[in-house]
Chains A and B, each alone.
Chain A
Amino acid sequence: MSAQAERPLLEICGVSAFYGKIQALRDVDMTVNRGEIVTMIGANGAGKSTLMMTIFGRPRARSGRIIFDGTDITGMPAHEIARMGLAQSPEGRRIFPRMTVMENLQMGAALADPEYFEADLRRVFELFPVLEKRQNQRGGTLSGGEQQMLAIARALMARPRFLLLDEPSLGLAPLLVKQIFDVIRELNEKEGLTVFLVEQNAFHALKLAHRGYVLVNGRVTMSGSGEELLAKEEVRAAYLEGGV
């Protein structure tokens, strides 16, 4: 492999971010390599979603640098970051409720070459067959799980090199969580899609991910492979106690 390929796809170096005077991220360092699934776990308010949003430029990183594929994207506008091949399924899904499933998917493909639209559509319908059935229904009328699927499918329509998912398991039944995580694994194994996953559901996320980070009060306190973290007493006590 060339030296370029050796370099991580995403590097976050010493990033701090603030909401007004409140510091949400403290000197966060992390990397995501090509073809990896990396997860960031942490409790409510640990700064997981902030990290995700900071990658997309809002809130701005007040210090540190975010480098994607060798390009410094710190402070770039969100739409330009998206144009570099990062797609995200944001916190709270944020699908377009009044638009139909098809229109939502079409919005996802706004940046992609229209030539691939049909093929990409078939691919996401294969991954999430329920969306095909619901294609002419309004996004807002879907169930929570279907909306989550739509959010992921919409992100995939952009043909991303790097997929960011913010709590895809939030508010979903265990069976649906498994279904969605299976799709993420499939995308990673079959297509080599790089995935960064922010999760509260530590057990599932760590089982799925190659590597993981633990975020506490805006600071990365632990990192390691998924199994390593799962085996750690502190992780078990803090995030897995009381069952899965």
Chain B
Amino acid sequence: MTDATRESAPAGGGKLAEAVKESAMAALLAFVLTSLMLGVRTVDAPGGLGLQYRWHLVIGAMVIVFVGRLLLKLFWWKEDGGAPAAVGAASGRFATLTEPLRKFAAPALVIFAFVLPFLPIADRQIIDIGILVLTYVLLGWGLNVVVGLAGLLDLGYVAFYAVGAYSYALLATHFGLSFWTVLPLAGILAAMWGMILGFPVLRLRGDYLAIVTLAFGEIIRVILLNWVEVTKGPDGISGIPRPSFFGLEFKRFGENTFHNFFGIEYSSMHRIIFLYYIILVLAMITNYVTMRLRRLPVGRAWEAMREDEIACRALGINTTNTKLTAFAIGAFFGGLGGSFFATRQGFISPESFTFIESAIILAIVVLGGMGSQFGVAVAAIAMIGGFELLRNMDWVKGFVESTFGIENFDPNEYRMLIFGLLMVVIMVWKPRGFVGTRMPTIFLGKERKAISGDLVKEGEG
């Protein structure tokens, strides 16, 4: 529609008129979209529900759309190329801008992560957010093995997270095993479930694989919910022991306590910082193992299988084993994450392992640029950190409440909306995610450079 109007309009003087016409159309669309969603509200009235009309909001939305579209049309979009030209140019600029940055960004990020607890800004809240972000970095890197490297779309990754969490919770509460004993066990148990999921889906690809893995994630959750004798169902498991530091506990009173041993004042921060370092080290191990595996035959086979399964078989690669190892290793890291989650929370219930968790982890992998370790870390920081920031943005709350007259506005409730918007924007702007390049694993000679994703079609890279 807009293309047709653009072509038929005379050049020069008609441009403004055309832009106004187009913007009016956009405003009309905004009216259609907002009239019911913003314009009418159900309120409690005597004798049932009543309607409250809020036309000022609809008009406000229409004005914003009209002016925004007009400005975009007049000053931003190129005459003939339309939106893609501007978008392409923007992403090209971004690429050249980030190229030198990227080399230092990853080590800088790691160093920052290691010193964070000792920085003056680090209060309890910051460290808590750090722990949460790192948990998702770990999960993102774990899922990256399955989705990013092996190309197997897994929508039920949270199942392995749950297996890890319940493994630790049950083994610790029933048998008194310590966190450090259970941690590898939980990983192995999750890996086993990864294989169990892997077998039936060996012959599935793409959409079908996604559906089955989605179902698998739900099955695990429903089992946790209904197998009350073992999992205590919806009540969850509480009183999960905290990890100890080489046998030293983080308690205020007692013999073997951390602060006693080191002769320092007790602080509840010690435990938080300790947890932070546990997850940081776990995440670093995940990253290291994945990077090493990528250079080994099995890692290369994962990537080749993502590209072309038939060609892989013809080259003598056992795709069955390759798929199962990808599922198992991805699940292993999920299990580590789950165990950590259980020990950190001290309480778990099936509610923590819903589909939305899988979706968030998958979104982190996709936004980060599938297969890119650095990209996944950046995406996890942006998404999880961003969500947490929303909880604390009082000025947004104040601003919205005063300007739009909405009561009890909670920015946190809009996080899914923002999340969706972010996804759309990233996919338009950088369809391959934040980091769309991948490092080849073999070189002849000294030349070593990232291979840009811009050169091949989306489907091929």
Contact = CB atoms under 8 A, between A and B. Distances in A.
Interface residues of B, number: 32
B316 A110 contact: yes
A138 B316 contact: no
Interface in A97-140: 97-100, 102-103, 106-108, 110-111, 121, 135-138, 140
Given A98-B460, A107-B300, A78 B451 contact: no
Contact of B316 (A79, A94, A103, A140): A79
A136 B438 CA distance: 12
B460 A108 contact: no
A102 B316 CA distance: 18
B313 interface: yes
Interface string B419-461: 0000000000000000000101111100101010001110011
B417 interface: no
B367 interface: no
B308 interface: yes
Interface in B312-369: 312-319
A82 B451 contact: no
B297 interface: yes
A82 B314 contact: yes
A141 interface: yes
A106 B444 contact: no
Interface string B110-150: 00000000000000000000000000000000000000000
B447 to A, nearest CB: 6
Which 8 interchain pairs have the tightest Cβ spacing? A82-B316, A96-B307, A78-B313, A94-B311, A140-B456, A97-B460, A111-B316, A140-B460
A59 to B, nearest CB: 12
A83 to B, nearest CB: 5
Nearest to A91: B310
Contacts of A96: 303-304, 307-308, 311
Contact of A138 (B303, B441, B447, B461): B461
Contacts of A110: 297, 300-301, 315-317
B459 to A, nearest CB: 9
B313 A136 contact: no
Given A98-B307, A99-B303, A107-B304, 9 more contacts: A88-B314, A90-B314, A98-B460, A106-B300, A107-B300, A110-B315, A137-B451, A140-B455, A158-B315
Contacts of A68: none
A60 to B, nearest CB: 14
A76 B301 CA distance: 21
Contacts of B441: 103, 106
Given A78-B313, A88-B314, A90-B314, A103 B460 contact: no
A90 B311 contact: yes
Contacts of B303: 96, 98-99, 103
A102 B307 contact: no
A95 interface: yes
Contacts of A138: 451, 455-456, 461
Nearest to A117: B442
Contacts of A80: 316
A14 B316 CA distance: 26
19 contacts: A78-B313, A78-B314, A82-B314, A82-B316, A83-B316, A94-B308, A94-B310, A97-B460, A98-B438, A98-B461, A103-B442, A107-B301, A108-B315, A110-B297, A110-B316, A110-B317, A121-B444, A135-B444, A136-B440
